[in-house]
Structure 1
Amino acid sequence: MSTQENILKVRLDAPAHGGHCVGRHEGRVVFVRHGIPGELVSVAVRDDGEKARFWRGDVVEVHEPAESRVTHFWPQADALAAAARGVLPVGGAEFGHIALEAQREIKSQIFIEQMQRLSGLDAAELGFTGVRAPAGESEDALGWRTRTAFAVDSKGRLAMSPFRSNELIPVQEMPLAHPQINELKLWELPLAGISRIEVAAGSGENPGALVLFIEDGTIAGAAGRAAKRLPEGTSAAALTQVPGSLTDGRGALTRLRGRTWLAESVAGMDYRVTGEGFWQIHRLAPEALVARVMAQLEPGYGARIADLYAGAGLFSAPLAAAVGDDGMVLSIEGAPGTSKDALKNLREHKQAVIVQGRVEKVLGAQLRERNTTLDAIVLDPPRTGAGKQVVSAMGKSGAKKISYVSCDPASFARDSADLLRAGYRLDAVEVLDLYPHTHHMETVGLFVRH
């Protein structure tokens, strides 16, 4: 924790992208976490060098609380409780001190500001009326994460890190995690020799859970010993770093018990997702996003559609079913292991073309090779967005519609500006609160060619 001379009293102003509020001290901007706009707070300042363009800090005391401030549901992520113990709060629930409706209002303000500043678009003119919870969300918005990761500290305890820190804080139950994950009681396992754990809960028939142990190489067989203590019916695998392996460049995947993949079911379609493969983490996200993408693109029989950053084929499968045997779905994914999952998930759809590679290199080459153009595109890029090269390739594809699924409003806004320059207009946009109690949000935008 910071020493006393690094504690500042500031009035918090507007929310900023990334989970902060803006504060000012003697003309210096301070990005403050764990506060609410309008509050008067004491902030423990970090990154506070004299030459720094701005400072960062965490709220350690609230002098004038906002009406929307509530007791944090997770003491280890509560900045005030952590400060009282002389430690940092763990990351992953930085909005847990804010009432849910107020969280969504703050996210709405951030989305509007990012769109205006980075794309020049007025979100209200596009029909944006605010960040909304997905249908079926629980009243407290807990237990939604079907995928989560933990570290292991030097004493072999399950742990998580604070924001922008390498410190490890021991944890037990993670309130945002799906109940299936907490029921595993990973904190009771012998974890010496494990550096990291990734765990997922499935949604298909007899879904169960899959635990991936990443070994640090110091203790032989560490993952196997931990796996034996898991509840009956839980699958487990070990990841050992091997240069040149085919598991998304991360290491060799070894089955320890059960399967190395999880069954997922979305809108009547079944998928398998192997080990560390990407899948939407909110329990309601896959179905909610598929419904919106299909409604935006309205794929007809015989249509030619590309699914970029396609993952295991969440969107590719329903699109392939819709375009039928005379259509084409070009499913492009960069990660080798996840692309293999797409091959299995789409094996019954001969009209699906699965290609592993970088989107900016593969999209144009595939269309030229097949001497064809596209009717539509769906893309769900990483947090950094698609970028100018991919936007350029989409613009040359012939696609009249683009359904863009984004987990970051800043990269969505930047790509929106590039798509406007490429001849598209943003016809509709919706933002879903698929990351409650965090600053993240999910945007689905429909771009239409002029």
Structure 2
Amino acid sequence: MTQPDPTNPRLAAGDTATVTITRPCHGGGGIGELPDGRVVMVADALPGDVAEVRVTRSKKSFALAEIVSLTPSDIRVPQRCPAAAAGAGCCDFGHVDPDAAPELKKDVVTDQLRRIGRLDVGKTPPAGGITVATAKPYQGWRTRVRLGVDDEGRAGLRAAKSNRIITSRCAQTVPGLTDGIIGDDAARFTPGMEVVAVIDGLGRRHVVEVPRPGRGKRATASKATVIEGTGEVTETLGELAWRLPATAFWQAHTAAPGLLAEAISRLTAEGLRVVDPTLTDDRSAGWDLYGGAGVFAPALGEALEEAVGEDVTVYSVEASAAAAASGRQALADIPVTFVTGDVAAAVAQLPAPLGVVCDPPRTGAGEKAIAACAAAAPPVVVHLGCDAATFARDTGSWMAHGYRLHRLEIIDTFPGTHHVESIGLFVRN
């Protein structure tokens, strides 16, 4: 780390300086160094930008800043999203050359692994390698959106770090998703509420109005007022179909469920090929943790059955009773048993697994759940994370409990944004 420069005055909020951006920042933006030697995180900046920045927050060891003017990086392009150009917090990578975005996201994930997970994959790469892929299409992929409603009843995306409503169209959404909902001639809604719009796997649009949930919470179907459609969506993966409330979780990118299910199946099979075979004896169960409606349970089960040549029961553990109920209905003809409850408590009651899929929410699984899972000594774990920092933290926990990262796959299922899906194949030492 660069030490503060005593020959340069310490910059305070409101001061300006010229900064060269050297690397991407987790959560978006770029990182450089102020003349006083401190690290500065600059909103909307990209590696290669040379920017005049204004300090917005000054701390002892770092500062936050905004761009005043810049000489743009070679990877900077005009913002593709009208809503983001107007200030919405949607497409915060809309000004990144799509060809450069995968490497930026890889840099963020590997940096978080080094800083938080204490794993430097640059110096000690996983034996199975690191791969990066991008879901297609790059634009027009989002099948569901949650919108705010302003005091005049207009629906739109919220401005970045603000409750201000932006009524311009977002480039992420699939065609038709927000027609008549966003724009000058759009319908009006109840001020202070939220509007959830979904185009489901059958191509039908559903629009519901819901009270705004607390931070980090999901709107509930019981409080939804149906504006269009039935409020119950049908989502498909292969020949399977799930019926869910419009407010329920489903992967937003049209291609994401298939891409992630394929990765889970392939990585599980790879893990079982490389792990010590004595660790797989007398095991014929799989665990699908934080399984939601069990979307990934069939992929896990098929991979395990192919490996051992016998029937395997997958136990899908999910805190939401409603999600588990949807899964039971969709997977009635597949050997999947749904368990409703807290993961750390539930796994202690389950048969020892041959393989585990762990797909926690953005907050990650955490030490308690990982310790409980590791106590059963599954030979293979496929861990998914949609937040680079919590994925890195969870990686550190798996390693502390006797696992090594054999392969890292980074799949951009959120193109045009800073978000990314990280998938780690962990095998027991």
TM range (shorter): 0.7 to 0.9
For residues 242-285 of structure 1, the C-alpha deviation after alignment (integer angstroms, 9 at most, x for no partner) is xxxxx976853455554332111112222222222111111111
Q: Which amino acid aligns with 1:74?
A: C
1:211-222 equivalences under 5 Å are 211-215=207-211
Instruction: Report the secondary structure of 2:357's partner residue.
Output: strand
Shift of 1:304: 0.5
1:361-440 equivalences under 5 Å are 361-364=345-348, 366-367=349-350, 372-440=351-419
Counterpart of 2:6 in structure 1 is: none
Greater Cα offset, 408-417 or 325-334? 325-334
**Which of 333, 344, 365 is the matching residue for 2:329?**
344
> Per the alignment, do residues 186 and 344 of structure 1 end up closer, same or farther by CA in structure 2, a change over 3 Å counting?
farther
Greater Cα offset, 21-30 or 277-286? 21-30
1:36-435 equivalences under 5 Å are 36-46=46-56, 48=57, 54-62=62-70, 64-78=71-85, 89-124=87-122, 125-126=125-126, 127-129=128-130, 131-134=132-135, 137-138=136-137, 141-166=138-163, 168-187=164-183, 188-193=186-191, 195-203=193-201, 206-215=202-211, 251-253=222-224, 255=226, 258-298=229-269, 303-320=284-301, 326-349=311-334, 351-364=335-348, 366-367=349-350, 372-435=351-414
- CA contact 1:274–1:338 (8 Å) conserved in 2: no
TM-score (norm 1): 0.80
Shift of 1:153: 1.1
Q: Does 1 or 2 have the higher relative contact order (CA < 8 Å, sep 6+)?
A: 2
> What's the % identity of the aligned pairs?
29
> Per the alignment, do residues 320 and 108 of structure 1 end up closer, same or farther by CA in structure 2, a change over 3 Å counting?
closer
Shift of 1:297: 1.9
- CA contact 1:96–1:437 (8 Å) conserved in 2: yes
Shift of 1:314: 0.8
Instruction: Report the secondary structure of 1:123's partner residue.
Output: coil
- CA contact 1:304–1:374 (8 Å) conserved in 2: yes
Q: Which amino acid aligns with 1:436?
A: P
TM-score (norm 2): 0.83
- CA contact 1:150–1:198 (8 Å) conserved in 2: yes
For residues 304-333 of structure 1, the C-alpha deviation after alignment (integer angstroms, 9 at most, x for no partner) is 101011111111244456668943211111
Counterpart of 1:230 in structure 2 is: none
- CA contact 1:194–1:214 (8 Å) conserved in 2: no
Instruction: Report the secondary structure of 1:35's partner residue.
Output: coil
For residues 8-63 of structure 1, the C-alpha deviation after alignment (integer angstroms, 9 at most, x for no partner) is 443222212111211333334321121111312133443x25x565332332422x
> Per the alignment, do residues 212 and 56 of structure 1 end up closer, same or farther by CA in structure 2, a change over 3 Å counting?
farther
> Per the alignment, do residues 8 and 150 of structure 1 end up closer, same or farther by CA in structure 2, a change over 3 Å counting?
farther
Counterpart of 2:425 in structure 1 is: 446
Q: Which amino acid aligns with 2:193?
A: S
Alignment partner of 1:21 is 2:6:
no
> Per the alignment, do residues 429 and 323 of structure 1 end up closer, same or farther by CA in structure 2, a change over 3 Å counting?
closer
Instruction: Report the secondary structure of 1:182's partner residue.
Output: coil
Counterpart of 2:5 in structure 1 is: none
Instruction: Report the secondary structure of 2:100's partner residue.
Output: helix
Instruction: Report the secondary structure of 1:348's partner residue.
Output: coil
Q: Which amino acid aligns with 1:352?
A: V
> Per the alignment, do residues 151 and 198 of structure 1 end up closer, same or farther by CA in structure 2, a change over 3 Å counting?
same
Q: Distance in 2 between matches of 1:297 and 1:328?
A: 15
Q: Distance in 2 between matches of 1:177 and 1:21?
A: 26
Q: Distance in 1 between matches of 2:362 and 2:315?
A: 22
Q: Which amino acid aligns with 2:238?
A: A
Q: Which amino acid aligns with 1:151?
A: G
RMSD: 2.8
Q: Distance in 2 between matches of 1:352 and 1:96?
A: 40
Counterpart of 2:7 in structure 1 is: none
